[in-house]
Structure 1
Amino acid sequence: MSKIGGYIIYHPTRKKTRVKGTNIYFDDNNHNQDPYIWNSQFLHSTCHMTELKEIQKSQNFSNRFFVIFWVSGDENEKFKDFSSLYCDLIFVVKEKIIWNEETLNDISPLNPVVDSNLAYTDHYFWVPIDHPYKSTRYGRFTLKANLKKSFQPQNSDGNLIDILHLITKVANCTSSELRERIRKGKSDKSFRSYPVPLTEDEVQELYNSINNIAQIKLRGPFLEKIRKSNSDLASPPFGFKSKKGILKIKKNEAEVVKKIFEYFISTKSLNLTLECLMKRGCEFIPGLTNKSIIAILSNDIYVNELITIDVFNKANDILRIKNII
């Protein structure tokens, strides 16, 4: 039997935005965005991860062509009764990064696994909140995609492509049989989906078919630039109340940091601003930690109200040069 080479993962309809004439489909940004597309390497840390057995037991993907096809049905149809499957992401796994034990439920923006401030804000920060770690033999990990081979496929009109007929052909099954393979459990009240494993041959055939018909292919480096200039695409800012309670950084802390930042940037150079902020933040609010300050500065929803994107990027560069982030 051919080895498993990837999965089809069925999920609710993606959100859609249009930026500079380009349609982009992405995960709901109310919380952790997963898979996360606003990064040079797409990221995947949580969704169905405990059910992806081949990924859990594998350590090295560098010499494998392992692909996750993310699909959804028509938004006007019931989740379980799809008659179309629109592919919004082809995720070719490049590497699997294991989280260390100290960060399983409290990851820092300084952690080496974190790709950028924006990825931390939208993805990593939310992972322990939305999906508290429970002991498993495989630990917690993040998949990072091959940035050249991974993409969001669209037709010439910028719409997602219905690949149901391609999947049934490749998997040699009917639409009804595919629905049963995707369906987890038999309850009609609470329909849940299950990842559909594909053999290496099936993965290659499906990938080639989509790659050939896609007229538009949105890749990570392009989408990362879009996110940097559009803060409305971010997950909720730190300090907002979630269903699971107040997040780690309180709103009043963020407001004070904004005021401090605004004052120093109006009177001193950006370099001095950051140094002063790091040294004097705790004077304004007892207990305000450098970690909180860094995280707030990392969140461009706050910062963009005070400074331009260019200055924000320079601030990030300075923090990285100083090995702060």
Structure 2
Amino acid sequence: MDLRIFTEPQQGADYDTLLKVARATEELGFDAFFRSDHYLRMGAGDGLPGPTDAWITLAGLARETERIRLGTLMTAGTFRLPGVLAIQVAQVDRMSGGRIELGLGAGWFEEEHRAYGIPFPKERFGRLEEQLEIVTGLWGTEPGTTFSYEGEHYRLTDSPALPKPAQARVPVIVGGHGARRTPRLAARFADEFNIPFASPEETERQFRRVRDAVAEAGRPADALVYSNALVVCVGKDDAEVARRAAAIGRDVAELKANGLAGSPAEVVDKIGRYGALGSTRIYLQVLDLDDPDHLELISAQVQTQLG
């Protein structure tokens, strides 16, 4: 089971804080550092010092880390034109020596679009499909040839389709809870399917839908990695769990029901339930980025038990 650290910087984190967490991620043996792609805080807190841009952050981390993989859950399709996004991701992949992964979603948080003057189209899923076609098409175009595309939302004419990523294929992550269109997109474009904040029961249903879509698309059954994203709150004892839950404004019982919370043994046991459903990767949503002891505990007493 791969464990990845997943952060939500829009809640209040500058680049230096993210760098500390990314370096701890690397030093403590986790597989990857991922971040959200949002420009406005959600829920409680003041959001200070303000948002950071996902791909600018990852470009910096690409030069200041050596081993861990880096990526987004999920880049908002509404924030970037697909041709520009293909260039950005390819460049950062080269800066990292081939350690980038792209999670790409339709975008959903309308309020942040209003706050920063970003258009929020009514029809976003069709745009996402075209974005996936364009980004993967640009990367897959042979050097010396051009890429053209004409869709309902985007048109590209004789693009040189440069630069190319360092990796032969940048892993693409598609995710969500949608019952029909999401599995179809994952089967067509994804290297990984991720379901965020889902119970084991919800996970089982959605994984089955995606596997069925993969089979219908004629891809091998094991063509995709299946993963979960879950909030994490681990403590050596009940008091420490309660302290960490309070720090992120959450209830312990709710966290145990909907995330990975409790003692290391409890968390290992629940991760095992997801593993039994076919999940081989867990994104640990770490909401308090000023608690390095939390990551150390997870590394020492959870990760070591998962093999």
Per the shorter chain, which TM-score range?
Answer: under 0.3
Q: What TM-score results when the alignment is normalised by the length of structure 1?
A: 0.25
If each structure's helix is expressed as a fraction of its own residues, which one has the higher value?
2
> Could you say which structure has the greater relative contact order, defined with CA pairs below 8 angstroms and 6 or more residues apart?
1
Q: What TM-score results when the alignment is normalised by the length of structure 2?
A: 0.26
